[in-house]
Structure 1
Amino acid sequence: MTTPASAKPAMSYTINATTAAPALSADWSALAWSAAATAELTNLRPESSDHRPRVAVRLLHDDLAIYGIYQVHDRYVRVVQEGYQVPVCTDSCVEFFFKPPVGPGYFNLEMNAGGAYLFTYVRNSRRCEDGFVDFTKVAPEHGRMVQLRSTMPARVEPEIKTPVTWCIQFALPFAALEPYCGPLAGHTGGGAAWTGNFFKCGDNTSHPHWLTWSPLPLLNYHLPALFAPIKLA
């Protein structure tokens, strides 16, 4: 699948620094998040159903980690995948793809509404029978370093068809990234230039949808050449 040469990322986001890591409460209104910029996912892919969730994300960082929280005003919420490295994109799911300024690849952190997640490092995103030409699943010992908390139960089946708002919060230590991309010293603040995108999906819900922060020219989240600028202040 080729990427149109004319497509350019239209967005940028700054991850502000914090002196205190937010408590892992999945509370969108917590005072700690008042220091974070809010990014809204407003680009709905035309392949989607008529369901258009309202999704926003906030990020902060310190010398140890990136902290994030998603707020989703949703319907048709379904969660059946449980555990680590499971295909959470088939559930009601939010995703953070990001490329540090070191190393050849990018990370994709995918989290369903119940807190199950998938975490990989992709060096070549061309599709093949095994997924991608060159990628590594983040090992359990590093995946366990990621902290998650959601306001939804671990399993939601049957799906919730009525309006519901859910949040999921994560803490992503730089130490969990370095075994894959290399040392991040000097790239975790001070205006360091990363790139990435934010996503929402629900492939196997009754109303499938694909929503992005920075727009994409086709339904493929794995387009690192089109990641938008993300600066660590």
Structure 2
Amino acid sequence: MSKQINCQFISPENEDNAAIFLNNYPKEKLNNLLWSENGYFPEVSFSMAYTSSSILLKYWVTENYAEARHTQVNDLVYKDSCVEFFISFDNGANYYNLEFNCIGTPYAAYGACNPGRVTLPADVIEQFKIFVKTESFENESLSKWELVLDIPFSAFIYDDIKSLKGVICMGNFYKCGDETTVPHYLSWNNIVNPVPNFHLPEFFGTISFK
């Protein structure tokens, strides 16, 4: 069954406290462990809201050995400890994939399913506001990190978004680490596919902007 998230509006007077709002908002879990034979299952949740000009998203991650080697915009951050957000404004025909490693390095692209996707220009991605908080536990093998994103509508350059009120989109949320010590793949809405692949819009859930 496809999942749905109801994304609430934050009024202008509360936009400066968006991170606090997200902390207190109900969290969704990435509770589908995919393509795994080792059973490694990081704990990941997120909350989401929107303003008059942007989408707000926060991830909470607890995992073993958080790793980040990629530091430049549009580096292949999915190879690191990474969270991802895919969203489509045209019912899955085309979608944006926004990916961030545990130090906040971003990657973003747009298009239909692979191949044929195009990366977003660096000056567009630099419009994202990205905040990262990290914490190491006593044994130093268990890491906890948080990622807060403020993504302006203007960054969705292939869509003319003036407001999201009442809009219903398709999308999914992920955690991965293709080249980490223990490779892993998690999703919010389940994916049924024999090999690792997040680029399957037929498995997107529903994002409803209230």
Unaligned runs of 5+ in 2: none
Counterpart position of 1:11: 3
Identity over the aligned pairs, expressed in percent?
25
2:133 alignment counterpart: 151
- Asked if 1:173 corresponds to 2:152, the answer is yes
Unmatched segments (≥5 aa) in structure 1: 1-8, 25-29, 127-131, 154-159
State the shift of 1:67 in Å.
0.5
Deviations 1:158-202 (A, max 9, x none): xx962221101111101110x21x21235x112x11010010011
CA distance in 2, matches of 1:93, 1:22: 26
Q: Secondary structure at the match of 1:152?
A: strand
Q: Does 1:142 align with 2:124?
A: yes
CA distance in structure 2 between the aligned counterparts of 1:199 and 1:148, rounded to whole angstroms: 17
Partner Cα distance (2:96, 2:16) in 1: 22
TM-score for the superposition, normalised by structure 1? 0.80
Match of 2:165 among 189, 192, 195: 189
- Structure 1 residue 152: deviation in Å? 3.5
Deviation at residue 91 of structure 1 after TM alignment: 0.5
Q: How many residues end up aligned between the 2 structures?
A: 204
Please state whether the residue corresponding to 1:60 is helix, strand or coil: strand
Q: Which consecutive aligned stretches of 4+ in structure 1 deviate over 6 angstroms post-superposition?
A: none
1:94-151, Cα deviation, whole Å (9 max, x unpaired) = 000111148951000000001101000122x14xxxxx1x222111121111111111
Q: Counterpart of 1:10 in structure 2: which amino acid?
A: S
SS of aligned partner of 2:134: coil
Q: Is the 8 A contact 2:168 2:208 kept in 1?
A: yes
Q: How does 1:1-233 map to 2 (within 5 A)?
A: 9-19=1-11, 20-23=14-17, 31-33=20-22, 36-47=25-36, 49-101=38-90, 104-123=93-112, 125-126=113-114, 132=115, 134-152=116-134, 162-177=141-156, 179-180=157-158, 182-185=159-162, 188-190=164-166, 192-218=167-193, 219-233=196-210
- Structure 1 residues 48 and 108: alpha-carbon distance in aligned structure 2, compared to 1, 3 A threshold: farther
Instruction: Please report the RMSD computed on the Cα atoms of aligned residues, expressed in angstroms.
Output: 2.2
Identify which range, 104-113 or 15-24, moves more after superposition.
15-24
Does structure 2 retain, via aligned residues, the 8 Å contact 1:106–1:121? yes
Structure-2 change in CA distance of 1:34 and 1:114 (3 Å): closer
**Is 1:50–1:207's contact at 8 Å kept on the other side of the alignment?**
no
